[in-house]
Amino acid sequence: NLGCGLHCISKESSFKTLQNAWSFINNNRIVNRDQINLGGNNGNNNNNNGGKIVLHRFNDGVGSWTGLNIQGLWQSNEFIVSGTDGLKADIKLEDNAQYYLHNTQQYNLQGKRYLKAYARYAPWGNVGTMLAKLYVKTGSDWKWFDSGSYTLNNYGETELVLDLNNIQDVKELGVQYSTMSGSWGQSAIYLAYITAE
């Protein structure tokens, strides 16, 4: 209709723009911001409607993680789980020693049943046996809950699983590594891909 002039062109243009915008936003290859895990150290990234959430992946550094009885803490691509980097800490091996990697912050784990993490130790040094426990501390009294001991190896990942049933108000999350007799020299411990589901 030639009589409507610029008015019709403007309306048609606006409609096309809206149509294109709708198609773009709803394209299955477009990821919305609330579907993205934004970080290595976001302990409250609980936006997956009851599914698995990634609490810590270490592609962006160590964040606020720290350790006890360790010699330095780094982001490392020597231990990659589900495409994400891990934490690495050098340690001096001794018999019956304990080493810790941990992060202190408030965690929102409401509706989650299991906490999971992956650990191993380095292939150098003399490790008799190394065990690991995934643990949390909760409440005003920092009560300790752990997964029980898992035996680690130096060649692949070991999944650590903590049952979150009746566990609330988590303020610290970490892994305790323990050596048995026959351990000496220098080695390293690793931690990667911590999730709740």
- Considering only residues 36 and 159, tell me which one the structure prediction assigns the higher pLDDT: 159
Tell me the whole-structure pTM to 2 decimals: 0.76
- Identify the CATH class of 38-196: mainly beta
38-94 pLDDT, tens digit each: 334 434 444 454 589 999 999 999 999 999 999 999 999 999 999 999 999 999 999
Q: Which of 15-24, 39-48, 148-157, 168-177 is the least confident region?
A: 39-48
**What ranges make up the beta strands (E) of the chain?**
53-56, 66-68, 71-81, 84-93, 98-107, 114-121, 130-138, 143-146, 150-151, 158-163, 170-179, 185-196
Residue boundaries of the structural domains of the chain: 1-30, 38-196
